[in-house]
Amino acid sequence: DTLSPPTSAGPAISLVDVVKDFGGAGARDAAVVRGVSLAIGEGEFFSLLGPSGCGKTTTLRMIAGFEEPTSGQILLHGRDMVGVPANRRDINMVFQSYALFPHLSVADNVAFGLRRKRVPKEELRDRVEKILRTVELADKADRRPRQLSGGQQQRVALARALVNRPRALLLDEPLGALDLKLRQTMQLELKRIQREVGITFVYVTHDQAEALTMSDRIAVMNQGLVEQVGPPQEVYERPATAFVAGFIGTSNLIGGRLTSVAAGTGVLDLGDGQRVTVPLRGSVTAGEAVELTVRPEKITLTIGPADVASRVRGTVREVVYLGTSTSYTVDTSTGAEMTVFQPNDGTACASPSRGDTVWLSWATDHSYLLTTAP
Ligand code: ATP
């Protein structure tokens, strides 16, 4: 509260080449976070997504001020945060363990921080009431935490953080303890609440469906580095690297040397009538080794070869009925295992069984050229 007002209308949170090496030597390669740069916008719902151990939590804890970077800069609203303690950062954090006071009512749990800050009684009551309405717990104000469901307890924890009106809220796998159904409901709830309060959210998760559902933008992390930052549709449909393609969905990788290049399109001739075409980016020439990906729902299965730009042959290894679609795992003759989703709405061309020979085909635009990891 004693800090000077923010200086610019730039990003809410910036990380500039942030490294964290718990060993202390500052060696980049051995570090847990190996040089992360991010610019998170004001009011954005921003997710850090990646597998266990990739450095998401460590990155979040550095933004919060619970850890200091070994090198690099963290700016909050343009102000350098190095050396500024967590409680002076105008940021709140919500954890998976709600850490509510069991002997206090819901309202008193939420009011706790405001009382400590000696917020006047009237204002305190108004703010608590308003935030309990936002998280749809106004009718539970007098309950004790143990009288609430897991999802309700998590919303109390959220209300307790939001009532302080932080400039940003950091959330570390806050829904991790809830069962799938409740988690899905809470994802939509969280998104609605974030839109309503307009506060910047930075959300850590290893669950790609969760990140896709809630985020304005996602940073996909792998081994201490950010491999791609973008809106959900972009990271799903245009993954930058093989890791991103595989982590957000099924990667369906195809690799090889380009047989020919013409008019911005490359062709991999795979023999026996099999070929893959891919739109090119940058200066790629014939003979060059490339790697591309195609999403399972973009592929059509047929018994004979279709007259399409990309087609490969394979043998069905697995068939899994998923309700609205059926998933086929196909061992292709190129050696790559590929997954295909076919809709169960009657539009599928073929419904082959295990062991059948099939053709996989798709349009040029659905091949997506990958770049190598950073
Ligand atoms: P998870 O989802 O499993 O929490 P994460 O992506 O959040 O994974 P981090 O918690 O940031 O990953 O941990 C990254 C690496 O840093 C791990 O190998 C972890 O063991 C290590 N690490 C985290 N905190 C410390 C610490 N205080 N001292 C030493 N190593 C640490």
Is pLDDT of 69 > 60? yes
b (16+ CB within 10 A) / e for 323-338 = eebbbbbbebebebbb
Q: Identify whether residues 241 and 275 lie together within a single domain.
A: no
* Sign of the dihedral defined by the CA atoms of residues 84, 89, 94, 98, in that order: positive
Q: Which of 191, 213, 246 is the last residue of a domain?
A: 246
Do residues 239 and 49 lie in contact, with contact meaning Cβ atoms separated by under 8 Å? no
Average pLDDT over residues 128-140: 92
Provide the pLDDT for residue 335: 83
**Residue 77 included in any domain:** no
Q: Quote the CA–CA distance of 347 and 274 in Å, as a whole number.
A: 24
- Report d(CA 144, CA 102) in Å as an integer: 6
Q: Is the same domain home to 240 and 257?
A: no
- Lowest average pLDDT, out of 16-20, 330-334, 352-356, goes to 330-334
Q: Is a pLDDT exceeding 60 seen at residue 4?
A: no
In a domain, 82, yes or no: no
Residue 35 pLDDT > 70, yes or no? yes
Is 359 part of any domain? Answer: yes
Residues 326, 201, single domain; the answer is: no
Instruction: Specify whether 144 is located in the same domain as 158.
Output: yes
How much is the ipTM here?
Answer: 0.93
Average pLDDT over the chain reads: 91
The answer to whether residue 344 scores a pLDDT higher than 80 is yes
Both 207 and 178 in a single domain? yes
Q: Based on the domain organization, do 292 and 206 belong to the same domain?
A: no
The count of structural domains within the chain is 2
Q: Which atom of ligand 1 is nearest to the CA of 221?
A: 6
Query: Final residue of a domain: which of 193, 214, 246?
Result: 246
First to last CA, the chain: 40
Say how many Å lie between the CA of residue 50 and the centre of ligand 1: 12
Query: CATH no. for residue 274?
Result: 2.40.50.140
Query: Which residue minimizes the CA distance to atom 10 of ligand 1?
Result: 57
The average pLDDT across 168-176 equals 91
- Asked if pLDDT for residue 23 goes beyond 90, the answer is no
Whether residue 127 sits in one domain with residue 214: yes
Q: Could you tell me which residue, 39 or 99, shows the higher pLDDT?
A: 39
Q: Are residues 57 and 176 in the same domain?
A: yes
Which of 24-33, 121-130, 248-257 comes out lowest in average pLDDT? Answer: 24-33
The pLDDT score that the predictor gives to residue 374 is: 52
Spacing, Cα 55 to ligand 1 middle (Å): 6
Question: Crossing angle of helices 106-116/150-162, nearest 10°?
Answer: 20
- One domain, residues 322 and 201: no
* Among 246, 270, 288, residue at a domain's last position: 246
Using CA positions, which residue lies closest to atom 21 of ligand 1?
32
Pocket of ligand 1 (CB under 6 A): 22, 32, 50, 52-58, 206
- Residue 51: inside a domain, yes or no? yes
For residues 146 and 47, state if they share a domain.
yes
Instruction: Give the atom of ligand 1 at the shortest distance from the alpha carbon of 60.
Output: 11
Q: What pLDDT score was predicted for residue 348? A: 85
Containing structural domain, residue 101: 42-61+89-246
The answer to which of 28-32, 126-130, 267-271, 304-308 has the lowest mean pLDDT is 28-32
Query: Which pLDDT score is estimated for 3?
Result: 45
Q: Which atom of ligand 1 lies nearest, measured to the CA of 61?
A: 11
Span 39-58, average pLDDT: 96
In a domain, 80, yes or no: no
Report whether pLDDT(358) > 90: yes
Could you tell me if 240 and 258 lie in one domain? Answer: no
Is residue 93 located within the same domain as residue 206? Answer: yes
Q: Read off the CATH number of the domain in which 150 is found.
A: 3.40.50.300
Q: pLDDT at position 302, please?
A: 94
